[in-house]
Amino acid sequence: MNPEEYADRFLENDELLARVQQNIADRGMPAISIAPGYGRLLTMLVAATKAEQVLEIGALGGYSGICLARGLSPEGRLTSLELKQDYADLALAHLTEAGFGHQVEFKVGLAAESLEQLKQEGRTFDFFFIDADKENYPVYLEYAIELANPGAIIAGDNTFLRGRTLNPDKNGPSVQAMRRFNELMATDERLIGTILPAYDGLAVAMVKPRQP
């Protein structure tokens, strides 16, 4: 048993998330939902920071959306950006089944365009979860910092790319983008961040209050 399997054993009696996973698999969608231990961490971080406005980049089937929404107060809102309409539809169905349908809003299309739109509208957020196309992680991070309320949390999933990020022989665009993202999350002066090395890697950072 590896450390992740050991930790997941405490989290496996989650019928709703198990059903969501099954539905995603049944539809032939990629089995890339966030790991159970990190899903629980998202719930805890949203609740602990009392985040009211949460932005998710990459909905897939709504698994991580449910984890994020579980941490929200009844007044909290989840805005979820998703490239594919059928994925957004399934994610909304799952969030509705989980009791959060009235708290979530989906924006379908290219995430960078939706982020630019949110910026133009002057929207700000308390929590960001980045889990979409890896080549654009540094772009999404810059938008997150721009749209962040002081003290906002940013989390990014799959920062190890199943080991490719750490492999010096791998240098494709996704790998290079992820290395840049990890470096920024851990070292950018606007952030206080770190990389959690379990599962496929999760980078987590807090946006420092802006200096006057």
131 binding Mg ion? (CB under 5 A): yes
Name residue 148's amino acid: A
Q: How is residue 197 written in tokens? A: 């090395």
d(CA 204, CA 156): 7
Instruction: Work out how close the CB of 200 gets to Mg ion at its nearest, in angstroms, rounded to a whole number.
Output: 7
For residue 136, state whether it binds Mg ion (rule: CB under 5 A). no
User: Which stretch, 14-22, 75-83, 152-160, 184-192, contacts Mg ion (CB under 5 A)?
Assistant: 152-160
Among 43, 158, 159, 165, binds Mg ion (CB under 5 A): 158
124 or 174, CB closer to Mg ion?
174
Contact between 100 and 78 (Cβ < 8 Å): yes
- Main-chain dihedrals φ then ψ at residue 28, nearest 5 degrees: 75, 15
Is there a contact between 149 and 125 (Cβ–Cβ < 8 Å)?
A: yes
Distance (Å, whole) CA 204 – CA 73: 22
Nearer to Mg ion, 58 or 193 (CB): 58
Q: Retrieve residue 96's tokens.
A: 């509705």
Q: How far is the CB of 209 from Mg ion (least distance, A)?
A: 29
CB-wise, 112 or 124, nearer to Mg ion?
112
d(CA 91, CA 190): 32
Residue closest to Mg ion when measured from CB atoms = 157
Least distance in Å: CB of 15 to Mg ion? 22
Residues that bind Mg ion (CB under 5 A): 131, 157-158
